[in-house]
Amino acid sequence: MAELLHQYRVLVLNRLWQAVNICGVKRALSLLYCGHARVVHEERGEFQTFGFWEWCNFSARYTGPDLLHGVRLNLRVPRVILLTFYDRYPARDTRL
């Protein structure tokens, strides 16, 4: 499980669906659990968003290499999360 936390990176979108950052799995799951983010999942060209418990239920049907095994639940590693409150644009560095 520890290697999955460091192996995958998660794309972070603001609530306007613009990419603002990339974070680790641990941070993404923390934001998801606190209700500050939702998982964005694409299947057959359609996008769905899931809260933490919805993602837990969705992950229960999944078998694959990116599955975190816990004591009471198995959780699929999210690839993209959508922040629910953050609506700023990504900061751009000006290089001279």
> Is 70 exceeded by the pLDDT of residue 94?
no
DSSP string, 13-37: E-TTS-EEEEEEHHHHHHHHHHTSE
pTM for this model (two decimals): 0.84
Say what the pLDDT of residue 69 is: 86
**pLDDT tens digits along 16-59:** 999 999 999 999 999 999 999 999 999 999 999 999 999 999 99
In a domain, 90, yes or no: no
What is the extent of the structural domain holding 15? Answer: 2-83
Q: H or E element: which one contains 39?
A: strand 37-43
Q: H or E element: which one contains 59?
A: helix 52-59
Band (66; pLDDT cuts 50, 70, 90): confident
In a domain, 31, yes or no: yes
In a domain, 96, yes or no: no
Mean pLDDT of the chain: 88
As for how many domains the chain has, the answer is 1
Place of tokens 């990116």: 66
